[in-house]
Amino acid sequence: MAGSEQFGETSGNWPQIALTMRMNADGETQDSTTYLIFSPDAAPYSFARLRALGWTGKDIESIAKDGVPGIDKNEVDVKIWSDTYQGKPQTKCEIMTGGTPTLAKPTDKGVFAKRVAEIMGQSTAVAKGKVEAPF
């Protein structure tokens, strides 16, 4: 929701933005907060979520200059769930971006097939180019 953004840091000292997400379902309106963390691992996902909302900025300097304009431009899917944090119940809200996952250790299909064949005890079949699924 435009105007709801708060800039701060997590308890682990990573920069974060808190945004209020206004959801409408069956004529009911509900607000929930989503937190975008900018640690080295999380920052790419946080920028993707800002873009999904419609953020018109290009980089971190544009946030310093203009904030996060456009975040109310697009309707997005969100995931809402309950969790416990430091012994207290919390409602969590995550913007779903529908992005493509990136594997931590990618391989090509030949390496993949060879590895699975070895696990299934078919390593000699791999050498002959014949690997059959056990089902």
pTM over 0.95: no
Tokens 């953020």 appear where? 55
> Please, what sign has the CA dihedral across residues 112, 115, 120, 124?
positive
- Which residues are CB-contacts of 80 (< 8 A; sequence separation ≥ 6)? 23, 32, 91, 92, 93
pLDDT digits (tens, 9 = 90+) for 16-50: 999 999 998 888 999 999 999 999 999 999 999 99
Q: Which residue has the tokens 């907060």?
A: 33
